[in-house]
A and B are shown apart, each in its own frame.
Chain A
Amino acid sequence: MCLAVPGKIISISEENGLRTAKVSFGGAIKDINIQWLPEAKTGDYILAHVGTGLSIIDEEEAEEAVKTAKEFKDMQDNL
Chain B
Amino acid sequence: MKFVDEYRNIDAVKKFAEEIKSVVTKEWIIMEICGGQTHSIMKYRLQDFLPEEITLVHGPGCPVCVTPVDIIDKAHHIAKQKDVILASFGDMLRVPGSHTDLLKVKAEGGDVRVVYSPLDAVNIAEKNPNKKVVFFAVGFETTAPANAMSVVEAERRNITNFSILSSHVLVPPAINAILYSPENKIDGFLAAGHVCTVMGYEEYIPLAEKYKTPIVVTGFEPTDILKGILSCVKQLEKGEAFVENEYKRSVRKEGNIPAKQVMFDVFEITDKTWRGIGEIPKSGFRIKEKYKKFDAERLFNLESVSKEELKVCIAGEIMQGLKKPFECPAFEKECSPENPMGSPMVSSEGACSAYYRYRK
Contacts and interface: CB of A to CB of B under 8 A. Distances in A.
Interface of A: 1-4, 16-18, 30, 33, 35-38, 47, 49-52, 54-55, 57-58, 61-62, 64-66, 68-69, 71-72, 75-76
A36 B146 CA distance: 10
Contacts of B250: 47, 54-55, 57
A65 B116 contact: no
Given A33-B117, A65-B224, A1 B143 contact: yes
25 contacts: A1-B89, A1-B139, A1-B143, A2-B140, A2-B194, A16-B153, A33-B117, A36-B145, A36-B259, A50-B118, A50-B146, A51-B118, A52-B145, A52-B149, A52-B259, A54-B197, A55-B251, A57-B249, A64-B12, A65-B249, A68-B221, A69-B221, A71-B9, A71-B10, A76-B44
Given A1-B63, A55-B197, A72-B222, A33 B119 contact: yes
Contacts of A65: 219, 221, 223-224, 249
Nearest to B9: A71
A51 B117 contact: yes
A54 B221 contact: no
Nearest to A71: B10
Nearest to A68: B223
B120 interface: yes
A47 B145 CA distance: 14
Contacts of A71: 7, 9-10
Contacts of B145: 36, 52
A60 B89 CA distance: 31
B142 to A, nearest CB: 6
Contacts of B259: 36, 52, 54
A35 B119 CA distance: 12
A75 B197 contact: no
B283 to A, nearest CB: 16
A16 B157 contact: yes
Given A55-B251, A57-B249, A1 B194 contact: no
Contacts of B44: 69, 72, 76
A49 B194 contact: yes
Contacts of B140: 2
Given A54-B250, A57-B249, A75-B7, 15 more contacts: A1-B63, A1-B138, A4-B197, A16-B153, A30-B116, A36-B258, A51-B117, A51-B119, A52-B119, A54-B142, A55-B250, A55-B256, A57-B250, A68-B12, A71-B10
B10 A68 contact: yes
A52 B149 CA distance: 10
A76 B44 CA distance: 8
B291 interface: no
A38 B258 CA distance: 9
B256 A51 contact: no
Contacts of B153: 16, 18
B34 interface: yes
Q: Which of B156, B221, B223 has the most CB of A within 10 A?
A: B221
Nearest to A46: B250
A2 B120 contact: no
A49 B118 CA distance: 11
Contacts of B9: 71
Contacts of B34: 2
